[in-house]
Structure 1
Amino acid sequence: MSLSTDLDQLARQRMRRARAAGALLAVLVGASLFMLLRERPQPSAGSATSSPSSSAPGAPATPTPESGYVPPARWTTLPEARDRIGRDYPVGWPHTPQGAAAAASAMFASVWDLDVTRATGAVDVYFAVGDRAASRRDAAASTAWLREQLALPRDGAPPPGATVAVQPIGVQWRVVDADNVYVSVAMRADMIAGTAAPLETLTVASTGHLRWQTGVRGGDWVALRTPAARMPRPAFAEPGTAAFNHARWRAIRPGG
């Protein structure tokens, strides 16, 4: 997995300004569904869509006449972390595909940040030791890119109120074996440049290779830098649409 690949995908999107009062959504793994950008990323000609393991076909979903809403055909509940490193990094997930999905969701929510110290700190928590140096460089580049989108200086402390909140809205996984899982996460990144600034929203679907390591935190999932071509790359789709079900996303049920 490479964070720079995700930046390439994000860079092809236009920013949407939502000029509404209110605070940013908090980052919650397993929170409720939210809306997609006005302009959706489209799957490339060579993109592959994975089928999650143990995923039985859901019942046909019928849109309501009033709204066109299509209920998600597949749901999952992500487990809670058993521990936390500092204030920022939940850790300690079950040795299950859902545990790997929760770990990937927490990792993505943590590495995209306007503060380079927090972003690179997340790499040190969530990535395998041998992959940390390159991933720290990617995380620093990601931080600089996000700040540029908000017209903030590339360096220095973010201004008061400047925030990025990444919220997972869908997951799927492919089990390689008991200790290796490819996890795809559909996410929304809500960004604000400071107090009273307008909200900027990006959406992206990203895939990570999670490996169970017994020597990490008494047994935990860590991320590896596996080439994107070897992993599924499902396109982002909005929950409540037929495309979400067609891509075999699982909606996240609150209350892990």
Structure 2
Amino acid sequence: MKTPFEQVLTEVTAKLQHPLFSFKNSEKLVAALTDNIKETLQVGLNTHNQATLVVSGGSTPIPLFNVLAGCNLNWANVNITLADERWVDENHADSNAQLVKTQLLQKKASAARFIGLKTPAVDVDSGLNACSSALKKLPQPFDVVILGMGNDGHTASLFPNTATLKEGLNPTTHKLCLSCQPTTARHQRITLTYPLLSSAKQVILHIVGEDKLLTLQKALAAEDPTDMPIRAFLKDPSINFVVYWSP
């Protein structure tokens, strides 16, 4: 007989229009996810002699970053950028760029080319044009996008109840990045938009913890993506989207 939580996992897997891979622990998840990312980047390198990896911040991807950093890839031809960023200096403890530089751009991956989102502009809106210009120089579609998810259903910095969310989720917007001022988190933020993120050759939601599976269940039941922005990805059958989860 299934436990209540196993029943939740079964329900989520059944309702999700994309694959969900579940693992007994984070270590097994990281091993499998590393293989997926490495293989997808290698295809890009073989086909175009370059590849682009888009990553997210937070504590969840740190073990993944540490393992990826030691992978055998032609990292010199890999571009790495962020799905979103807080508008803080790179030496700030909350900077996603600092996290990537200290946890991912190490060992063999130190040869990769990192493109941060933060510019010298005093605020996000003043820096949007420069950031958009930098993103346009990256080959698109991106090869791999790794997303996280908050318990409010936000992903990247597409937060509920923000002034720019509807445009950020608009599948036809021509904007590559937008500003965001969350009501539930510190700092102004810059985020890549839904069409830019979702057009990647492989979009991966990397989540850990029973609370995140319950959030996924709630997001699948939500009617309006602006209530829980991750739902835009969950309910779009046209994108190459997959979920990696462990308790």
Q: TM-score, normalised by structure 2?
A: 0.30
Higher helix share: 2
**Whose relative contact order is higher, 1 or 2, with alpha carbons under 8 Å and at least 6 apart?**
1
Q: TM-score, normalised by structure 1?
A: 0.29
